[in-house]
Chain A
Amino acid sequence: MIPQAPILAIVVPLFSAFLMPMIGLLSKRYNIDRACDWFAVAAMVGTLIIVASMAPTVWGGQIIVYKFGNWSPPWGINLAIDALSIQMALMIAGLGTLVMVYSVAYMQRDSRRDLFYTLALLVITGMMGTILTGDIFNFYVFLEIMSVASYALIAFRRDSSGIEAGLKYLFIGSLGTSFVLLSIAMLYSFVGSLNIADLGAKLAIYRGAAQPVPTILVASLALFVTGIMIKVAMVPFHIWLPDAFTAAPTAVSALLAGPAAVVGIYWVARLPYLPFGLPVGIILVSLGLLSMIVGVLMALTQRDFKRMLAYHVISQKGYMVLGIGLGTLGSVLGAQGGLFHLLNHSIYKSMLFMCAGAVLYRTGSQKFEELGGLGKNMPLTALTFLIGSLAISGIPPLNGFVSKYTIYLGGIEAGLPIVTIIAVLVSALTFASFFKAFSSVFLGQRPKHLRDIQEAPKLMLFPMLAMAVVCIVIGLFPALGFNVVGPAQAAAENSAGYIGHVIGGI
């Protein structure tokens, strides 16, 4: 482990973000063309190395506790990294790096790219912070850093649809984060602590049926769940997501669909055990089912490439929440499937957005009826899109099949076979929707004005192909994925171990 690695994982993207405008100025003065772009990529690679250096220690069964200013946990602020956090941190850093490489090519026509990278790195900072922190108010602060930066990123091009989507996400998202703040305030007034491990230890008496749960705790839990669900975009709270993902520059959509999805699901996975430890399984299962069905039905009717992908984000996040919900109802397979699906989905959904971005970059259109026959012009983009759509539909031997199959088994294991049946049906509808998208963009008649379209730039193809290879490799060797999500699921459930590690070291 690199010394001070936990804090460096947050500080490196944060400081790179604030150095970025300066580098932009210098590169303008000395005429270095792409200094900002490569600095952003370098910052992300550095973050990835730092996070990866922590992984062996954590998977060896330890929980890394980093104390700010050496104040012991219940009083000071601490970072706590267990197997669940490290899975999420690795995903954020890895996918973030690929998205940055993609943006180097995708954003080259935009002016003020230094500001774009500042905001993108701030989003990464916020995500890293929410994942790694062991203090619930700190979590709120990082959540806001991530949210405010992503509102700005969505409206980055200041076009009319971006402004509208940014405003919409801002109002709905700020409402959600205010709920989280109110929930934290109630929790503090009841328990008198902000440390997640300490809260978990002090609320442990309500975990069994012996003690009646006080009303303020239920209210706090309800507000917290609502706030998180707005960020995850489960169905009653999903309206911001399709607009935001359609209007944002595609590199931002890929960033929000892949890495940013991680934050919400991390808290969905953490919530049933720490800090509340109250049974929320049935809420998660029903919200997950609702999102799966509504998301895929809405996606079937879309005529816009990115909007269709956005509705599939909602539907696939439903699978993850469903899996984790099944996990709290006693099915280990369900929870592992949910976390595994998060891993797979982040990879192929970022990739699919990148394909849509490549098509948009070359043709200037994202409407199905204006596109067609692009398979001849852009064979590699078509190939990666095909791999992505087969993976998202759960066709073997790709990674989506493995995780979806694990969730199906989880449904049966939890004694709810009806859930499995619905999940299989939604998967079939997903396939139908992607079949339509693939045939209308890459097959069929090619409009005359699209005859001279070229393949996407190499810098765009590189992250897309890398992700496609990962999809196939995880599909062929699912044990690789289970080696990551197995410990993560065990760590999420092992709240006593977490509390012991964080508080016990006094």
Chain B
Amino acid sequence: MSLNYVIAMLLITLGLYCLLFKRNLIKLIIGLSVMTDGIHLFLISMGYRTGGIAPIVTGESTSNLPNFASRAVDPLPQALVLTSIVINICITAMALSLSIYAYRHYGTLDPSKIRRLSE
């Protein structure tokens, strides 16, 4: 299981590297997505259990509560990740549409060139 956390942290570092050192708006957006996906992987790994069952309370599960509690996965991180994915889509869409406008205005996607052209 600890492999998940290692990969999550690698993804976050990769995304951060991309955000800091890449010189293209599209690559920056990819970096942002990779970074948030790393965070999502981290969140979802927290709630995961090998051989777990869905945490839905039925008549059967209430009769054997200790078994249910020891096997059910934690549903909260899944809810959090779903919310966060939707938010991330909004940000990506926003960034892409702004990049389209930036390309129309400046004819380039290089942030440092955009900066020089605007002055």
Contacts and interface: CB of A to CB of B under 8 A. Distances in A.
A155 B95 CA distance: 11
B19 A166 contact: no
Interface in A113-167: 137, 141, 144, 148, 151-152, 155, 158, 160-161, 163-164, 166-167
Interface string A174-185: 110010011001
The residue in A137, A158, A161, A174 that gathers the most chain B C-beta atoms within 10 A of its C-beta is: A174
A45 interface: no
Contacts of A151: 94, 98
A392 B62 CA distance: 64
A148 B93 CA distance: 10
Contacts of A178: 32, 35-36, 39
A124 to B, nearest CB: 18
A504 B114 CA distance: 55
Nearest to B114: A164
Contact of A171 (B32, B84, B101): B32
A181 B94 CA distance: 19
A189 B106 CA distance: 45
Interface size class of chain B, counting residues whose CB lies under 8 Å from the partner chain = 20 to 34
Interface residues of A, number: 25
Nearest to A182: B39
Given A144-B87, A182-B12, A194-B76, A164 B115 contact: yes
Contacts of A185: 39, 42-43, 46, 77, 80
B7 interface: no
B36 A152 contact: no
Interface string B16-35: 00010000010010001001
A175 B102 contact: no
B53 interface: no
A141 B102 contact: no
A204 interface: no
A185 B35 CA distance: 14
A166 B111 CA distance: 12
A170 interface: yes
B99 interface: yes
A148 B28 CA distance: 17
B31 to A, nearest CB: 9
A188 interface: yes
A181 B32 contact: no
Nearest to A170: B95
Nearest to B101: A163
B118 A181 contact: no
B65 interface: no
Contacts of B10: none
B84 A155 contact: no
B49 interface: no
Given A151-B94, A171-B95, 9 more contacts: A152-B94, A158-B101, A163-B98, A163-B105, A178-B35, A185-B42, A188-B76, A188-B77, A189-B46
Interface of B: 12, 19, 25, 28, 32, 35-36, 39, 42-43, 46, 76-77, 80, 83-84, 87, 90-91, 94-95, 98-99, 101-102, 105-106, 111, 114-115, 118
Q: Which 6 A-B pairs have the closest CB atoms?
A: A160-B105, A144-B87, A163-B101, A185-B43, A189-B46, A182-B39
Interface of A: 137, 141, 144, 148, 151-152, 155, 158, 160-161, 163-164, 166-167, 170-171, 174-175, 178, 181-182, 185, 188-189, 194
21 contacts: A137-B80, A144-B90, A148-B87, A148-B90, A163-B101, A164-B102, A164-B115, A167-B102, A171-B32, A174-B91, A178-B32, A178-B35, A178-B36, A181-B36, A181-B39, A182-B39, A185-B42, A185-B43, A185-B77, A185-B80, A188-B77
